[in-house]
Chains A and B, each alone.
Chain A
Amino acid sequence: MLKQKTEKFLQALGKAPVGFIVNLGYLTQFIVKSVYNCFIPPFYIKLFFRQFLNIGFYSLPVVGLTTLFAGMVIALQTYSGISEYGAESVVAGVVLISVTRELAPVLSALMVAGRIGAAMAAEIGTMRVTEQIDALVTLSANPYRYLIAPRVWAAVLVMPLLVLFGDIIGIFGGYLVGVYKLGFNPANYINNTMNNLTSVAIVMGIVKAAVFGFVISIMGCYHGYRSKGGAQGVGEATTNSVVTSSILILIFNYLITEIFFSR
């Protein structure tokens, strides 16, 4: 009796890490296949542009709004934190650095993960459970090239553009608060912003954006591709895709920052 109970307990204990390792194996295999097939013709240009438009253009309002308010709140926080030392000129620099290096890439990526990663998982997941992916194979089309490659290419290429857009809007948000609420001189604010503008900050933001685009599309496609069990399975795939890509975005954000700082 005791032996049986111990066995059951140990089995339950071992199930989670074994499951994790198995899933990690599937994910690695999926990433390798996806990346390989991104470079193998045929290239579905029309599908690529459809995704490009969907991820990029239709995410502009969400990304614009989030970065606008992020820039505004940073300006306000910085001012309230350091105004007693009379360092108002620092506000423009802090807004610029925090928006371009951190806020625009991370917030845009989290928004796109919620909007696009979830949609990818749901669409591909539905295709999986309704046998449309099997149908693709029987019609001699490679699902990795037809479904995954256009999404990965579109996400990796459009995310940097979205982040550049977010940079401009975020800095503009800081400007609005600085000039209209805190009463700074507009010319001085723009001057301070330009003085602090470095190519490293922009490049770091763009590199982050491209990596996040890859993470979002791969996680969305992976969870959709492996979903099973009807509507419930697709629902789980959608949730998992958003949760895992959000966590990975924050982890990669730290790692990329660390790499840039260690140079």
Chain B
Amino acid sequence: MADNKIEIRNLHKTFGKKCVLNGVDLDVKEGESLVVIGGSGTGKSVLIKCIQGLLTPDEGSIKIDGKETVDSNKNIHEKMGMLFQGAALFDSLSVWENVAFVLLENGKLSRKDAKTEAIKVLRQVGLTPDVADLSPAELSGGMQKRVGLARAIINKPEIIFFDEPTTGLDPIMADVINDLIIESAKGLGATTFTITHDMASARKIADRIAMLYQGKIIWIGSVEEMDRTDNPYLKQFVSGSSQGPIKVEI
């Protein structure tokens, strides 16, 4: 299928005796926004890290643009950007150096031009140029997420990954970040892959939603389909009830 940007087949990953991914099959179409939902510890982060090549799966295949990436030495990160859960900004660099990291790294732009470009992208995510010279530690959580987003999109990636983009933010700031995610992805025409357990965020940014449970994708569909579903697991997760087939391990 040529229009699949990401194709995951039979993905397995085990840590010690704990089987985290147990045969994940998932397709992400070009230009779509896929959101993977699931409880804490269901393997969402492991899945995103496997696609990014940060973890090597035990078994299975991950294709990006039809090319296998598992055990491949090719640099797959050039066409990807990622917004980490805690923003993961480099403490030792200023805000603009964080944003322009890729530009400075590939050496195509001088420091002056890279800074101008970084300030331009910072404006896109709603930050003023005076934050450019601050250190990341001086920023609030919401501002750090914006800087993280700016860093993820500065290289105009084809795929953007969002790891719990709204965790730790107040509802209003979370909605601002959701809007920014939609805007930046649309602006770039990028495919986005988000993992979250925030249903408000999932509803807002998703074209399709997939639910990960016990290491497998147990349901996939649009937001409207999700609201009409009979799947008891999904229904319980969406309603946020402690009663149902999903048992919380305490």
A residues neighboring B (CB under 8 Å): 42, 126-127, 130-132, 134-141
Partner of B101, one of A134, A137, A141: A141
**Once bound together, how far apart are the Cα atoms of A255 and B177, in whole Å?**
58
**Once bound together, how far apart are the Cα atoms of A127 and B91, in whole Å?**
9
Partner of B80, one of A130, A131, A138, A141: A138
B54 and A130 form a contact (CB under 8 A): no
29 contacts between A and B (CB under 8 A): A42-B105, A126-B91, A130-B86, A131-B86, A132-B88, A132-B90, A132-B91, A134-B49, A134-B52, A134-B84, A135-B82, A135-B88, A135-B89, A135-B90, A136-B90, A137-B53, A138-B81, A138-B82, A138-B161, A139-B77, A139-B101, A139-B102, A139-B105, A139-B151, A140-B75, A140-B78, A140-B105, A141-B101, A141-B105
B75 and A134 form a contact (CB under 8 A): no
| 6 nearest A-B residue pairs (beta carbon) | A135-B88, A131-B88, A138-B82, A140-B77, A131-B84, A132-B88
Whole-angstrom distance between the Cβ of A230 and the nearest chain B Cβ? 11
Q: Is the interface of B mostly helix, strand, loop or mixed?
A: mixed
Partner of A138, one of B77, B85, B86: B77
Partner of B77, one of A42, A127, A137: A137
Whole-angstrom distance between the Cβ of A120 and the nearest chain B Cβ? 13
Q: For window 58-89 of chain B, which residues contact chain A by CB distance below 8 Å?
A: 75, 77-78, 80-82, 84-86, 88-89
Cβ contacts under 8 Å, B102 to chain A: 139-140
**Contact A138 B105, CB 8 Å, known A130-B86, A130-B88, A131-B88:** no
A138 and B101 form a contact (CB under 8 A): no
**Once bound together, how far apart are the Cα atoms of A59 and B84, in whole Å?**
36
